[in-house]
Structure 1
Amino acid sequence: MDTFGVGHRSAGAGETRSANRAWWDDEAIAYYAEHGEFLGDDDLVWGPEGLTESELGLLGTPGGRDVLEIGGGAGQGGRYVAGQGDRVVSTDLSGGMLRQAARIDSRTSAPLPLAQCDATQLPFADASFDVVFTAYGAVPFVADSAAIMREAARVLRPGGRFVFATTHPIRWAFPDAPGPEGLVADRSYFNRTPYVEESDDGTATYVEHHRTLGDRVREIAAAGLVLVDLVEPEWPDRNRQVWGGWSPMRGRVIPGTAIFVAERR
């Protein structure tokens, strides 16, 4: 998709949803071609650092649970969790990403149940799942991320766990560049104006929304969830890959990812 303008401006829920659904629809095949090897077809990679669920164990003990993946993209994380013995449904806003998931599934003997939906309006009954998770999906791509927290809490059973990874909020104060220029803050951490890419007529083609660490904790608490862990993965020596603004050089100095682990008590 052609992009003519990049900057920060307001963007409401409808504009954000329309832009991001179209962007991921258009980019699904190219994104998989670029990052598919890094992510694997049946692994749960929590972020550009390359740390996996098998290393971090954030979802709890697998086996026989009902699990919901939101913003699952091509369903790699959901496929991993299903392979550990859980019953999984993987969802995404983008039909293009779900079609990529189906293409992967066509090479397997156990297709992953897929559903297209908005993570702020989940089409599932109350207390349907033991675990809800997303690795860089949904949370930064909606205008009202507090609604995601409320929906996750609603569909979780008592004692259930919600785990989500997203861009570490501190990164919003720095240019999205993998080199030394990406280590010099050039904007306020407290400026929550969305990042927007536009077409030549001013139509938003991609939108991300920023929340501070404090904002995230308040959203979690307001949803009736209890924050039990906050993981800021360090960049491992084994990972030499540059992924957009993420790089080994930057990753050893400032965190790139924040993973929030919350429970419905």
Structure 2
Amino acid sequence: MTSSGPVPPPLSRAGYQDVPDAQGGGAARGWWDANAAEYLDEHGDFLGAATFRWGPEGLTEDEAGLLGDVAGAAVLEVGAGAAQCSRWLATRGARVVASDVSGGMLAGGDRLDAAAGVVVPRVQADARALPFADEAFDVVFTSFGAIPFVPDARRVHAEAARVLRPGGRWVFSVTHPVRWAFPDDPTARGLIADRSYFDRRPYAESDDDGRVTYAEYHRTLGDHVRDVVAAGLRLRDVVEPEWPGWNDQVWGGWSPERGALLPGTAVFVTTKD
């Protein structure tokens, strides 16, 4: 498979390790720019051009209704990737803006605009410093975006709270925290815990020069709750999608074999009172 984007550097080290916050938090943009085309080619059929899925299990917003009635609402997606979720919301009457730190991922959505027949505004921005006014949106959300890739997730929650209007919703999905105690293996080997759930060192990859090229951060269930409370938000629900019988795909460590026994995704629903 070929890509017109940047070529990822060779890895010299990968694993759970301490990394400088500035390097870990800054790696996401370059990694997603380099891997955008390959990611969209590999997962494009499942993600669709205008489909809203909360995670690899396949739960859709149409099924879950976690954002509420979006018709006429001002909605912001952070960590939008190629903006598949935002396009779906636009077809439901939302006034939606998609944002992502990676210009490569946002540009990857160009080919999806024609396929979906829907174009939404896209803005390149770090979720920790959103270029929007206070109380500009009724709903802010992310499906597996932003939060896993920064060491300071509280800033993401604080920014979501800042741009939300009173009564608005901030909804986000992440890898289920329990999964971090298990190998990232879609087979039965991935059902045997091999590290401490409380080990919060990120999974990181670095190149031959020691530069961090990818970092993904683990937070316990309690960490996520404390982070949203610290942002002044009220936790309303935590959804743990079960693996459905129709879904036979393997996506990284997600698979029907593991999904039958172990949760893979957690979706947090919060409101700004």
TM-score by shorter chain over 0.5: yes
Structural mapping, 1:64-143, within 5 Å: 64-107=72-115, 109-143=117-151
Unaligned 5+ runs, structure 2: 1-7
**Structure-2 residue corresponding to 1:61:** 69
Aligned partners of 2:49 and 2:115 also within 8 Å: no
For residues 118 and 257 of structure 1, the distance between their equivalents in structure 2, rounded to whole angstroms, comes to 23
- Partner secondary structure for residue 216 of structure 1: helix
TM norm structure 2: 0.95
Instruction: After the TM superposition, list the runs of 4 or more consecutive aligned residues in structure 1 that deviate by more than 6 angstroms.
Output: none
For residues 220 and 247 of structure 1, the distance between their equivalents in structure 2, rounded to whole angstroms, comes to 29
Superposed displacement of residue 229, structure 1: 0.5
Please tell me whether residue 39 in structure 1 is matched to residue 47 in structure 2: yes
**Structure-2 residue corresponding to 1:154:** 162
Superposed displacement of residue 109, structure 1: 4.6
Aligned partners of 1:12 and 1:143 also within 8 Å: no
**Structure-1 residue corresponding to 2:34:** 26
**Structure-2 residue corresponding to 1:145:** 153
Deviates more, 1:193-202 or 1:168-177: 193-202
Superposed displacement of residue 204, structure 1: 1.1
**Structure-1 residue corresponding to 2:16:** 8
Unaligned 5+ runs, structure 1: none
- Partner secondary structure for residue 99 of structure 1: helix
Deviations 1:186-216 (A, max 9, x none): 1100010111011122211110011100000
Aligned partners of 1:142 and 1:208 also within 8 Å: yes
Aligned partners of 1:3 and 1:199 also within 8 Å: yes
Deviations 1:61-111 (A, max 9, x none): 120000000000000001111110000000000010011112322455542
Deviations 1:140-162 (A, max 9, x none): 01110011111100000000000
Aligned partners of 2:49 and 2:116 also within 8 Å: no
Task: Identify the match of residue 203 of structure 2 among 195, 205, 208.
Answer: 195
Aligned partners of 2:57 and 2:241 also within 8 Å: yes
For residues 36 and 109 of structure 1, the distance between their equivalents in structure 2, rounded to whole angstroms, comes to 16
Structural mapping, 1:105-254, within 5 Å: 105-107=113-115, 109-254=117-262
For residues 20 and 156 of structure 2, the distance between their equivalents in structure 1, rounded to whole angstroms, comes to 15
Please tell me whether residue 49 in structure 1 is matched to residue 57 in structure 2: yes
Deviations 1:205-244 (A, max 9, x none): 1100111000000101110000000000000011010101
- Name the aligned partner's letter for residue 125 of structure 1: A
- Partner secondary structure for residue 227 of structure 1: strand
For residues 15 and 156 of structure 1, the distance between their equivalents in structure 2, rounded to whole angstroms, comes to 29
For residues 58 and 88 of structure 1, the distance between their equivalents in structure 2, rounded to whole angstroms, comes to 16
- Name the aligned partner's letter for residue 27 of structure 1: N
- Partner secondary structure for residue 89 of structure 1: strand
Please tell me whether residue 255 in structure 1 is matched to residue 263 in structure 2: yes
Identity %: 56
Superposed displacement of residue 17, structure 1: 3.3
Q: When the two structures are aligned, how many residues end up with a matched partner?
A: 265
Aligned partners of 1:92 and 1:118 also within 8 Å: yes
- Partner secondary structure for residue 210 of structure 2: coil
**Structure-1 residue corresponding to 2:4:** none
